[in-house]
Chains A and B, each alone.
Chain A
Amino acid sequence: AQSVTQPDIHITVSEGASLELRCNYSYGATPYLFWYVQSPGQGLQLLLKYFSGDTLVQGIKGFEAEFKRSQSSFNLRKPSVHWSDAAEYFCAVGNPGGSQGNLIFGKGTKLSVKP
């Protein structure tokens, strides 16, 4: 069965510092991969997605993610964090070959930004 693990429940970084949020997945083939962001009390907004091709994916708000098949990972990165990036981040995996199913979400990583 597919699964998504976000090992870090809460991360705090200083404004201007770099950021990496970890995501590991379990799936038999190359899945569809997504990162979403959620501000408190709001819905989820898609940051970026990976379906195939170039393993380094650029997204909105200056975020990027790299798909590493050998590590079953899809980590999210940003070179310089802004205070407005404080939010909760969710990694998700889709099932490109399945007739059933949906996106499987990780439990999220909450990002706090220190001034």
Chain B
Amino acid sequence: DGGITQSPKYLFRKEGQNVTLSCEQNLNHDAMYWYRQDPGQGLRLIYYSQIVNDFQKGDIAEGYSVSREKKESFPLTVTSAQKNPTAFYLCASSPRDVGRSEQYFGPGTRLTVT
């Protein structure tokens, strides 16, 4: 079945540690995205990538980093510089240019940092 997988579903880390969230898609989509979701805030864009080896900052990129070495994969690293990392993180992909088509979402990773 085609789709987007995110792992793990739940992730716990100590403050000061970097953590990497996995996102893989087998939809052959060009564009991929990372969003952060907090209660009452909707979805806020962290980073997006239209093609391999290229990515752009979204609205809240500070404290996060990404890579796009393969079309299928777009991992997100939450660094120790992110002041409030506890949140629900959603990965998405789309088949065409950003903003021009619907996005397909993974099941999300809930990160808790204590």
Contacts and interface: CB of A to CB of B under 8 A. Distances in A.
Contact of A102 (B4, B33, B110): B33
Given A102-B48, A106-B42, A42 B101 contact: no
B99 interface: yes
A108 B37 CA distance: 11
A43 B9 CA distance: 11
Interface residues of A, number: 24
Interface in B27-85: 33, 40-43, 45, 48, 56, 58
Interface footprint category on B: 20 to 34
Contacts of A49: 102
Given A43-B105, A43-B108, A108-B42, A102 B58 contact: yes
A107 B41 contact: yes
B40 A94 contact: no
A41 B90 CA distance: 11
B108 A46 contact: no
A103 B41 CA distance: 15
Interface string B94-112: 0000111111111110100
Contact of A100 (B42, B56, B102): B56
Contacts, number: 58
A57 to B, nearest CB: 12
Contacts of A100: 56, 98-99
A95 B99 contact: yes
A3 B92 CA distance: 20
Given A44-B105, A106-B42, 15 more contacts: A32-B101, A34-B102, A41-B88, A41-B110, A42-B107, A43-B105, A43-B107, A90-B42, A94-B101, A96-B99, A98-B99, A101-B99, A102-B33, A103-B103, A105-B42
Interface of A: 9, 32, 34, 36, 41-46, 49, 90, 94-96, 98, 100-103, 105-108
